[in-house]
Chain A
């Protein structure tokens, strides 16, 4: 069993998803559930905090690709923060930095929603 955990927190108008452990084809549905719940509550501004995520496969990356348009169409976005190098390298290989925002710190990512330039 892969060890994976999702937790959703509200920070003002922004929702923060904490992901922990191993995100693969087995555990990706748990992350999809978290996104579906946010969409049901019309919460489209999302920061995913990767601080405790040690591993991601393309099945995990696919979740963000599947939901990002819905968030953006509703004046929200999915922004990423606190990613370890080994995890960021995979996002980088698949071209994510062209289309997604990555921040070193969760606060920065949340502020970007609250005070867009």
Chain B
């Protein structure tokens, strides 16, 4: 296995419909498998990307189904990076507090769980605002970490 030397860069652009979540997951799964991640970690990565894209569809695009979401994957030096870019409403992650789970269930509030899961499942989660009204979520998983645990 020469996964350290491999460089796998791919991009998928899909419309902002929840109908496309399955395609997004298979795209990411394939790239993660090629990068050398185990089944279990591939599941965590594809779920995190699903959550990020679901948030884009719901919040950035407010369920308008004809906008674009770009999902780029990159693997080099043991680091798997997924970059999700949209051109919808700006998003400030600081406005979404980390849920206290017990309180959360009591309140019947059903938002913010996706962000919480991404943080738990990935090694890094970053949010950027780019010029031209673009938003980016960057998810990172390290191969070495994930195979050790």
Contact = CB atoms under 8 A, between A and B. Distances in A.
Interface range, B side? 20 to 34
A117 B117 CA distance: 34
Given A24-B54, A25-B21, A86-B40, A57 B101 contact: no
B116 interface: yes
A24 B101 CA distance: 21
A59 B54 contact: yes
Interface range, A side? 20 to 34
A19 B44 CA distance: 21
Contacts of B58: 25
Interface of B: 17-19, 21-22, 25, 40, 43, 47, 50-51, 54, 57-58, 101-102, 104-105, 108, 110, 113-114, 116-117, 120-121
Interface of A: 1-3, 22, 24-26, 55, 57-59, 61-62, 65-66, 69, 86, 90, 93-96, 98-99
